[in-house]
Amino acid sequence: MLLCRTAKYHPLTPSTKSKIALFCDVEEEAVIAARDVDTIYEVPLAFHDQGLDESIVKLLGLPARPDRSLPLGGDRAPGEGAPAVAAASGGGQVHRG
């Protein structure tokens, strides 16, 4: 399995994926674009969109899950932003950002 870093607006084209797979002796579905994203919360969503999670399950010989939804708010659309994070300040008060 190969994760190929790409710029956000320059996706890995099918012909490039095909060439990488051919010269690296891997299946074409094993070439995954690790594109730049705005927040770290989008990384698993981007990999899920390309089927990386299914490929890993298949590679490890694990049983497939019938429910393909992502846990912990995986239904959030890409680019929707990060969830609010609580930050503690002096005096033990918590402010939401």
pLDDT, tens digit, 9 for 90 and up, residues 29-51: 889 999 999 999 999 999 999 98
- How many domains would you assign to the chain? 1
In the chain, which residues have pLDDT < 50?
A: 74, 78, 82-90, 95-96
pLDDT given for residue 86 in this prediction? 44
Residue-range definition of the domain harbouring residue 39: 2-66+82-96
pLDDT at 91: 52
Q: Is residue 49 part of a domain?
A: yes
What is the Cα–Cα distance from 10 to 35, expressed in whole angstroms? 8
> What is each CA distance from 9 to 29, 75, 83, 84, 89, in whole angstroms?
21, 23, 24, 27, 38
**Is 76 inside a domain boundary?**
no
The reply to whether 19 falls in a domain is: yes
pTM for this model (two decimals): 0.62
- Quote the pLDDT of residue 75: 53
Assess if residue 72 is contained within a domain. no
Does any domain span residue 86? yes
The C-alpha atoms of residue 23 and residue 4 are separated, in whole angstroms, by 14
